[in-house]
Structure 1
C-alpha cells in the first residue's frame, strides 16, 4: 500500500462525515480515531492506516492545542497531604519522630496482629481415620465425589 494518500475534496468530505460524532481530541482520542478509521474505510472502500488519518488531521489542525483546550473529565487537583493534628504531622526536620509516634499514643491497627502468634494459620486438609460414606477417601489420600443419584 502506498504511504502517501492524495486527499481529494471528496475524500476529505468522507473524512468529515466519518468524524461526525467522534472528536479525535481529549482523553478518548485514540478510541474515537478507531471509530473514524472504521467509518472512513467502510465509506470509501479503501484501506487507510490510522497514522495516515492522524497526519492529515495534523496538517489541517493544531491537534496538540485542541487537546489542551479539551476539558479533562478526570481532574487531578493536587493538594499537600498532612495527617490530622492528633497524629503529630508537624515535623521540623526529617530526622525527628512525630510526637504521637514517639509517645506510643497511636493505637495499634486492628488489621495487624499484635504478636506473631495471633495471625491467621494456614488451613490444611486432614484425613480422618474414619471417612464418612458420603465422601470416601481414595488410596492416594484424596477425597472423591460420590454421585448420590446412582
Structure 2
C-alpha cells in the first residue's frame, strides 16, 4: 500500500512564502502563473524517491492532462509553457509509471500495486478538486506537485 504521508511530506518540504495567483485580472487561468509555480517547485531540489511517490507523480500528470483535454479554454491551453502541455504530461505519465513498475519488483504483488495506483489516483483527484474549486492553496499544492514530478 502507498504510505499515505509520503507525498504530503514531499509537499510540506516545499515552502512558498506567498500565495500565487492562478488567474489573470479577468478571472481566467493565468498560464504564466502556472508556469512560475511549476518552475519554482521544479527547482526546489525535491523529487520522487519511492514507488508511491512515482505513482503519485503519474497520477497527478494524468489528472493534469485529462483536465487540459477536457477544457473549453483553448487559449489557456495554447498559452501554456511546453513543460505543462498535454504532450509533455503524457510522456511524464509513461515515464513515472515505468519507474514505479521497476521499483515494484518483488516488493508488492499485482493486487497491492493496483491498490497503490488507485490510491494515488484518488489523491491526485482530491488535489485537483481543490485546485479547480480555487480552495486556499489548491493551486499551489497541485502545481507544486507537477513541478516536483518534473
TM-score category (smaller protein): under 0.3
TM-score w.r.t. length of structure 1: 0.27
Larger of the two Rg values belongs to structure? 1
The higher relative CO (CA closer than 8 Å, separation ≥ 6) is in 2
- Please state which structure has a larger fraction of its residues in helix: 2
